Amino acid sequence: MKNVRGFLKYEINLDRNWRNLQLVCLRYTNCSSLQHCKNKWTNGSVTVKLYDIENFHSSTEQLTDLEAHKMVREANVKQATAEKQLKEAQGKIDVLQAEVAALKTLVLSSSPTSPTQEPLPGGKTPFKKGHTRNKSMSSAMSGSHQDLSVIQPIVKDCKEADLSLYNEFRSWKDEPTMDRTCPFLDKIYQEDIFPCLTFSKSELASAVLEAVENNTLSIEPVGLQPIRFVKASAVECGGPKKCALTGQSKSCKHRIKLGDSSNYYYISPFCRYRITSVCNFFTYIRYIQQGLVKQQDVDQMFWEVMQLRKEMSLAKLGYFKEEL
């Protein structure tokens, strides 16, 4: 019995050890397969995945750089556009401010209110004869004057061609001539040229007109050279303090020479402006006759002639410009 029991116990232990051995073998097999998978993953897949990740990062960085450059470029364009708009806006503001200042000056200058009186030295106010108005009435009157000055209309320069003058100019433009008897020049002679070159010294004035027509008149400023008189007396030729055309005592800063004559005639600034205005008119119509005016059409030529006539009209009325 003891032997049987010992044999059974030995068989049970053997069977248990066998099962344990099978479990160990199974675990070893699983470990081998896992190690193989691990080696495969490490050698192949992980390398591929790491390469893909690196490519992804590089492409992302490239896209980020492109987007950054694009954003910087767009920001620079927007900044330049904004600066340009700012400069244009500032220019418009300056123009508007200048127009507003000019309008204010125009309104104040055209206001019907009486000019303010300056106080006397010492702070004393001037004495006024007669009764004085009530302060309330004066304030009311000043308020009404201010209202009138606010509603003053804005006046602008306008122009409209006279049809008769325009048609005469067009007829002259088709066949330009310097003959004073043609209708276009005859009217200008009667209305502008003769009145502009009419002086108290009629003989000298006629000689000046003839020199202007022949384009032989010269005007030069008075220099430091000695005064030269050849055939005319000092009264006829005038001097630095006496005008030869008017005979009046005026400061003469210029002198004229007629053709080939060696005489110089001293003229005042007023006479000089009247002569130069006529010379400018003759110079322009002479250019038209010679075909030198090619950049202007008929309308522009007409208004240029009207502007020159305007200068002659102002000169004959006593308005002139003097060089300081």
Residue-wise pLDDT for 164-185, tens only, equals 999 999 999 999 999 999 999 9
Round to whole Å and give the CA distance between 177 and 171.
11
pLDDT at 59: 66
> Each residue of 67-117: pLDDT tens digit?
777 888 888 888 888 888 887 777 778 777 776 776 666 656 544 444 444
Q: Residue written as tokens 């009264």?
A: 235
The secondary structure of 283-312, three-state, reads HHHHHHHCCCCCCCCHHHHHHHHHHHHHHH
First to last CA, the chain: 158
Model pTM above 0.85 = no
pLDDT at 36: 64
Of 70 and 224, the structure prediction assigns the larger pLDDT to: 70
Burial per residue of 154-187, b for 16 or more beta-carbon CB atoms within 10 angstroms, e otherwise: eeeeeeeeeeebeebbeebbeebeeeeebebbee
Round to whole Å and give the CA distance between 77 and 206.
70
